[in-house]
Chain A
Amino acid sequence: GIQVEQSPPDLILQEGANSTLRCNFSDSVNNLQWFHQNPWGQLINLFYIPSGTKQNGRLSATTVATERYSLLYISSSQTTDSGVYFCAVFSDYKLSFGAGTTVTVRA
């Protein structure tokens, strides 16, 4: 099956800092999504981005499908950005998740 690797595994930020999270995948995909799992366990949709670039407020994402990676940018981080960020790709009839990046934003 497809392999999804996320880096870094952990990230500690000072409030106001910028950061980049990376997602590599091992095969072509039909769909790529970024999710934020908040400290209460809820999975929040951030981006549906099979290719190209999208922006939503302080967050943006870029997927380069031909090179099999996606990047999630967080700018001017806030404490509410803390949680686990998951990348997930759709291939072989399933959405496969990476192991996630745990982000901690300190005030």
Chain B
Amino acid sequence: NAGVMQNPRHLVRRRGQEARLRCSPMKGHSHVYWYRQLPEEGLKFMVYLQKENIIDESGMPKERFSAEFPKEGPSILRIQQVVRGDSAAYFCASSPWGPGEAFFGQGTRLTVV
């Protein structure tokens, strides 16, 4: 059973470009979470999704950030018009049900230059 797959592992974008981060949950998992980790800091919750639904997006910045988890395909975290402050590691986790055990992918390291 493959783990949570994130791609790309590393992403470099120039200021003003768009970044698209992908997350494929573990087989049988229908709950997906996105977290952001700044250097030397902990993990901050961004958004919680189930298939085709956003359950909680209280941690998402109001502008430029969006997330989806379509019926088919991976979950996507999209950052428009990136700025240097968006540079961070973005982690995705999946679980079989809400409070079930969550497993994390290896993260996408976004660098904005």
A and B: partners? yes
Q: Known: A42-B106, A43-B91, A94-B56. Contact between A30 and B42, CB under 8 A?
A: no
A30 partner, pick from B93, B99, B103, B106, beta carbons under 8 A: B99
How many B residues have CB within 8 A of the partner chain?
25
Cβ contacts under 8 Å, B55 to chain A: 93
Q: Known: A95-B45, A98-B42, A99-B42. Contact between A90 and B103, CB under 8 A?
A: no
In the complex, are the beta carbons of A33 and B98 less than 8 A apart? Answer: no
| CB-CB contacts below 8 Å: A60-107 with B | 86, 88, 90, 92-100
In the complex, are the beta carbons of A48 and B101 less than 8 A apart? Answer: yes
Interface of B is mostly: strand
| CB-CB contacts below 8 Å: A23-79 with B | 30-31, 33, 35, 41-43, 45, 48, 50
Cβ contacts under 8 Å, A97 to chain B: 35, 42-45
Q: A30: nearest residue on chain B (CB-CB)?
A: B99
Cβ contacts under 8 Å, B58 to chain A: 94
B43 partner, pick from A31, A42, A86, beta carbons under 8 A: A86
Bound together, the chains give a CA A50 to CA B101 distance in angstroms of 10
In the complex, are the beta carbons of A33 and B102 less than 8 A apart? Answer: yes
B104 partner, pick from A30, A43, A92, beta carbons under 8 A: A43
Q: Which of A42, A90, A94 has the most CB of B within 10 A?
A: A94
In the complex, are the beta carbons of B98 and A90 less than 8 A apart? Answer: yes
Write the nearest CB–CB distance from B39 to chain A, whole angstroms: 10
Bound together, the chains give a CA A86 to CA B104 distance in angstroms of 13
In the complex, are the beta carbons of A45 and B103 less than 8 A apart? Answer: yes
